[in-house]
Amino acid sequence: DTGVSQNPRHKITKRGQNVTFRCDPISEHNRLYWYRQTLGQGPEFLTYFQNEAQLEKSRLLSDRFSAERPKGSFSTLEIQRTEQGDSAMYLCASSLAQGGPIAYEQYFGPGTRLTVT
């Protein structure tokens, strides 16, 4: 399977705990994105990487959120001191940007559903 994979698929945690999600992009893709989707909404952009460099972060990404992409391959998204409002589907996507700022089609993984109790 050469698609985008995410682990775990589901995570239930208690408020105040830290959680970490992993995304493995399509191997030749140099861009990796994180989105969050809540009920009744479309995915909302959180952050993206080009190779290992984090190029943009949304204002939705509070100080409790941190993302990394060491070596420009897989990425992790960590949420510290989780709150009930963090409950959402966290989606990862990857794409291939060739020389310009725009990378058109993004390929999405199945997402990690986080429930904070």
Output the smallest distance, CB 12 to another protein, in A. 16
12-71 positions binding another protein, by CB under 8 A: 33, 35, 40-45, 48, 55-56
Q: β-strands 65-68, 10-13: how paired?
A: unpaired
Torsion sign (Cα): 27, 29, 32, 33: negative
Query: Would you call the peptide bond into 70 cis, given omega within 30 degrees of 0 as the criterion?
Result: no
Instruction: Report phi then psi at 25, rounded to 5.
Output: -80, 175
* 17 vs 55 by CB, closer to another protein: 55
99 binds another protein (CB under 8 A): no
Q: Which residues bind another protein (CB under 8 A)?
A: 4, 33, 35, 40-45, 48, 55-56, 91, 93, 101-111
